Amino acid sequence: DIQMTQSPSTLSASVGDRVTITCRASHSISWWLAWYQHKPGKAPTLLIYKASTLESGVPSRFSGSGSGTEFTLTISSLQPDDFATYYCLQYTSYSQYTFGQGTKVQIK
């Protein structure tokens, strides 16, 4: 099974900051990685898929990069609406999906 290690687990930042979250895979997953934003009580929302493709309607301050085993989600200028928990998801087959442990972005 492919394991996903996400870091940091918690991140304190201010509005306007550049924020970077990392996910590492235990084996190469090519570019089959997605990023999600989740707020309490709400449905998770897709930000990025295929490592770097921005989902329609997602603000351009979100970007994804990486391939193989190391991936990053970057928020170029943190906005008040961005305080949430972020998860990565690897989807390298039709029967194996693994999430990272999550990164909570909180107000500094």
Partner 1 sequence: QVQLVQSGAEVKRPGASVKVSCEASGYTFANYAIHWMRQAPGQRPEWMGWINAGDGNVKHSLNFQGRLALTRDTSASTAYMELSRLMSEDTAVYYCARSTLSTLTYWHLDLWGRGTLVTVSS
Concatenate the DSSP letters of all residues of the chain into one string.
---EEEE-SEEEE-TT--EEEEEEESS--TT-EEEEEE-TTS--EEEEETTTEEPTT--TTEEEEEETTEEEEEESS--GGG-SEEEEEEEEETTEEEE---EEEEE-
User: Shortest gap between Cβ of 18 and partner 1 (angstroms)?
Assistant: 25
Asked if 55 is part of the footprint of partner 1 (rule: CB under 8 A), the reply reads yes
46 touches partner 1 by CB under 8 A? yes
Residue placing its CB nearer to partner 1 in the complex, 32 or 82 = 32
Residue 34 touches partner 1, criterion: CB under 8 A: yes
Site residues for partner 1 per CB under 8 A: 32, 34, 36, 41-46, 49-50, 55, 87, 89, 91-102
